[in-house]
Structure 1
Amino acid sequence: MKRTLFILLIAGSFIVQAQDSKPKTLIGNDPEDISGFGAVLFSFMPIDGSLSTLTGGGGAVLFDNTFFIGGYGLGLTGNHEFDQDGEDYTTSFGHGGFWLGYNIKPDNLLHMGVETKLGWGSITTKSLSTNEQVDSDEVFVFNPEVFGEANIAYWFKVNASIGYQKTIGVDNTFFDSTDFDGPTFGISLLFGWFN
């Protein structure tokens, strides 16, 4: 019995040493270094000269509690209404795609980071009187941001961001790209497991 216990202890020692001698990697050495989160997203920006709100969500895989990669989707809350030549129109706008970011000193209660959203979407305009679609564009959106973040709990964070959105591919009767370009302000509620 003692001999068996001694053999088990020696074998366990070799296993622990083998685990401790794993090669170093770029994004971490332990499965615990990989986690993830889901987010509720709010974005505020001028569209066609009017302050507009986009809401949506996203999710990402978090590596070493610093770098994250995932996806997002945002859509205009309500529609943007306007009139032209005596006719009333309504426009919807939404986009989604890749969400990348980096947290700087994430263990601090308050910290900063950088992120960008790279997505595809559409701008659709309808006549309010006939409810018929009169124009539509497929667009590409690029929105780099800087954010400040607060660790509220080990499973919950809040951040506020500022950035600039560039929209490419707008070319229709009513708008051009500059109508959907401009500064952005965002608030994100992040729920997940933050190591």
Structure 2
Amino acid sequence: MLPSQFLKLTPSTPDEFIGPAGAIAKLLQRAVKDSTAAGKTPLTVLFNGPPGIGKSALARYLIGLLGSDKWSVKKYSGNDVNIDTVRDIAADLHYKDLFGNWRVLWIEEADLIPAAAQNRFLMLLDDLPQGCAVICTSNCKVDDFQKRFQTRFKIYDVEPPQPQEIENLLRRWLTRPQDLKNISIMSCGCVRQALLDAETCLQAAA
């Protein structure tokens, strides 16, 4: 497996995450358990932090915990969400899944949702039916969101892994100590960048 292919994998346990994301994965297990026990009360989650540290992997992991298949998940980029999109989403979420699965709305870079659409989106969050989950990611600081936006989410601040944790991951592909050290430090905690740099290093040595 190439390093870039590793990016597409979804961890199956918290221990498979790199860095602090693993601790968040354990919290997600409890959140899903509690929500399911309460009759599938709606889940609204925001993963916040720098690029390339596992926010999307956490989103995929949460979807796996919910047991939702690809037909029950709608994914958008924040800058593609306008008022009409939110209205369509709101109407769709009120239809129960044919097989009783969780319905999931996944928005990457939710901070890019236009201001006008944000107001309608807040109404959607307030009216979520049972068995629905809204998962958002963002590269912004939490304080950059409007307070009324913040209070509607369970917020998980995802911190970057340490250089040693990245180095341990890269040992699957690289053996030269200098390459391992350089990439793990220069990536500044961005796992995605470290994996891509490792692949470039492998190709240069071939």
By percentage of residues, which structure has more helix? Answer: 2
- TM-score, normalized by length of structure 1? 0.23
Structure ID, larger Rg: 1
By percentage of residues, which structure has more strand? Answer: 1
Higher relative contact order (CA 8 A, sep 6+): 2
- TM-score, normalized by length of structure 2? 0.23
